[in-house]
């Protein structure tokens, strides 16, 4: 390779920095020049590229966010616009690109691979863990732990005031984050987009545990899902059933913070491995994790299929509080 470029795109996630560092250091170790693209696909279109040195990625392994900045770029969905991006890369002598981001960013990456002779590799960077073909994503572990820190604090207030709390976590259309957080927080209930909510049942369960003295306070973890204001609506419905739960929306705090040790190792490994895959002649793939090992998955299938929530894990979340 003459030179490769790396960018971060879409919603940021803790661990994007060690992933960038992994790509940069692995490329330099192999004598390949690396460019860092600023602000995802928007910066690519604007030609905002910087030569990365080993020093550019010094002291970032522990930092949340992304030093390359991230952005959403609606116009990238147009073929003519992507053609301009391909020209920017070629005119800078770049023949490969590593894209770190979620589902949307990987869709853009796949189209770039289809529409050019550039080598393109995607890395799963999202707190949602909703990407097909990989059992883990960069930032998921940190986000689970951030939500747990918050819930442990909320539990103190829930317990002092004998209240139930509905705690909304992120996750887009997927219940992965909520299910993991629910199990690890010992939540009374987990509500996810993949399964129907039985609000009367939940109301009964809460009143029952209050009556029997099992618990007058508890945590119900709600995945944000697609409906804005879902958690407030559920709280309203529970109110009509005689409960008075409080609502706490964790929001963007889940996307920030120092990446956990797990995410730093995952991001560093995937970042460095993306360069190995490029050197071995691969393109149009995502580098991810299956059965604990690093694997390559065609980007085409990554974006075509939806990753399903493991029903056994969800059942476990519901069973353990009984
Ligand atoms: P994430 O990568 O976290 O899923 P988005 O879904 O917002 O975040 O996507 C990030 C960016 O990826 C978008 O702003 C756009 O530039 C690009 N992208 C998303 N969907 C497509 C698509 N269908 N075709 C081309 N590019 C896309």
ipTM value: 0.99
Question: Looking at residue 298, what is its pLDDT?
Answer: 98
Q: Give the C-alpha separation, 297 to 137, whole Å.
A: 14
Structure tokens of 239? 């109110």
Which residue in the list 12, 95, 128, 141 is annotated as catalytic? Answer: 128
Question: Looking at residue 212, what is its pLDDT?
Answer: 82
C-beta of 107 in contact with ligand 1 (< 6 A) = yes
- Give the predicted TM-score (pTM) of the model: 0.97
Question: Looking at residue 120, what is its pLDDT?
Answer: 98
Q: Give the C-alpha separation, 299 to 94, whole Å.
A: 21
Q: How far is the CA of 299 from the centre of ligand 1 (A)?
A: 14
Please count the CA atoms within 13 angstroms of the CA of 22 that sit on its side-chain side: 25
34: which strand partners? 4, 52
φ, ψ dihedrals at 297, nearest 5°? -130, 130
User: From the CA atom positions of the chain, what is the Rg in Å?
Assistant: 22
CB 224 within 8 A of CB 168: yes
Q: How far is CA 310 from the centre of its chain?
A: 17
C-beta of 13 in contact with ligand 1 (< 6 A) = no
C-beta of 72 in contact with ligand 1 (< 6 A) = yes
Question: Looking at residue 322, what is its pLDDT?
Answer: 66
C-beta of 103 in contact with ligand 1 (< 6 A) = yes
Mean pLDDT by 10 residues, the chain (322 residues): 96 98 98 98 98 98 98 97 98 98 98 98 98 98 98 94 94 94 94 92 86 82 92 95 94 96 98 98 98 98 96 91 70
Confirm whether 310 is a catalytic residue.
no
The burial of 222, by beta-carbon neighbours within 10 Å (0-12 exposed, 13-18 middle, 19 or more buried), is given as: buried
């Amino acid at each position: 390779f003459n030179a490769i470029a790396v960018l971060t795109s879409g919603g940021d996630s803790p661990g994007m920095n060690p992933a960038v560092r992994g790509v940069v250091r692995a490329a330099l170790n192999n004598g390949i020049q690396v460019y860092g693209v600023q602000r995802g696909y928007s910066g690519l279109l604007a030609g905002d590229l910087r030569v990365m040195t080993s020093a550019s990625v010094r002291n970032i392994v522990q930092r949340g966010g992304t030093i390359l900045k991230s952005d959403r770029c609606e116009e990238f969905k147009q073929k003519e616009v992507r053609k301009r991006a391909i020209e920017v890369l070629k005119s800078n002598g770049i023949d490969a690109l590593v894209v770190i981001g979620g589902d949307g960013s990987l869709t853009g990456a796949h189209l770039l691979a289809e529409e050019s002779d550039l080598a393109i590799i995607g890395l799963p960077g999202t707190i949602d863990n909703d990407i097909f073909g990989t059992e883990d994503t960069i930032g998921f572990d940190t986000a689970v732990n951030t939500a747990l820190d918050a819930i442990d604090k909320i539990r103190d207030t829930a317990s002092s005031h004998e209240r139930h709390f509905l705690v909304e976590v992120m996750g887009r259309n997927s219940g992965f984050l909520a299910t993991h957080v629910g199990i690890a927080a010992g939540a009374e209930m987990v509500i996810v987009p993949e399964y129907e909510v039985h609000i009367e049942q939940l109301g009964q369960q809460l009143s029952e545990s209050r009556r029997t003295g099992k618990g007058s306070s508890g945590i119900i973890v709600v995945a944000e899902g697609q409906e804005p204001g879902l958690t407030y609506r559920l709280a309203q419905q529970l109110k009509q059933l005689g409960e008075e739960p409080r609502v706490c929306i964790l929001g963007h705090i889940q996307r920030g913070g120092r990446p956990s040790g797990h995410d730093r190792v995952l991001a560093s490994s995937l970042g460095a491995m993306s360069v190995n895959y490029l050197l071995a002649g691969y393109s149009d793939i995502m580098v991810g994790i299956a059965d604990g090992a690093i694997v390559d998955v065609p980007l085409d299938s990554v974006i075509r299929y939806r990753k399903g929530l493991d029903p056994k894990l969800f059942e476990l979340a519901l069973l353990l509080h009984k």
